[in-house]
A and B are shown apart, each in its own frame.
Chain A
Amino acid sequence: MTTQLILFFSLATLAVGTALGMLFSASAVHATLFLIMNFGIVAVFYLLLNAPFIALAQVTVYAGAIMVLFLFVIMLLGAERTGRTPSSWWLQPVALSLGVILLLEALYLVISQRGLLPVGGEVASTYGDPFSVGETLFRQYVLPFEVTSILLLVAMIGAIVLSKSRT
Chain B
Amino acid sequence: MVPVDYYIGLSAILFTIGALGVLIRRNSVVIFMSVELMLNAANLVFVAFARTYEAVSGQIFVFFVMTVAAAEVAVGLALIVTIFHTKQSIDVDQMNTMKW
Give the residues in chain B near A92, CB-CB below 8 Å.
Answer: 24
Interface string of A16-49 (1 = CB under 8 A from B): 1001101100001001100100110010011011
Are B79 and A16 touching (Cβ within 8 A)? no
A152 touches which one: B4, B32, B67, B91 (CB < 8 A)? B67
> A49 with B51: in contact, given A140-B57, A158-B78 (CB under 8 Å)?
yes
A8 CA to B60 CA in the complex, in Å? 24
**Which residues of B in the span 64-90 have a Cβ within 8 Å of any Cβ on A?**
64, 66-75, 77-82, 84, 90
Q: Which residue of the partner chain A has the closest CB to B33?
A: A35
- Chain A facing B: main interface SS: helix
* 17 contacting pairs across A/B (C-beta < 8 A): A5-B2, A8-B6, A16-B13, A16-B17, A19-B13, A22-B21, A28-B27, A35-B33, A35-B37, A38-B14, A45-B44, A65-B70, A73-B80, A82-B25, A85-B26, A118-B4, A136-B56
A: residues with CB less than 8 A from B are 4-5, 8, 12, 15-16, 19-20, 22-23, 28, 31-32, 35, 38-39, 42, 45-46, 48-51, 53-54, 57-58, 61-62, 65-66, 69-70, 73-74, 76-77, 79, 82-87, 91-92, 95-96, 98-99, 102-103, 106-107, 110-111, 113-114, 117-121, 123-124, 127-128, 132-133, 136-137, 140-141, 144, 148, 151-152, 154-156, 158-159, 162-163
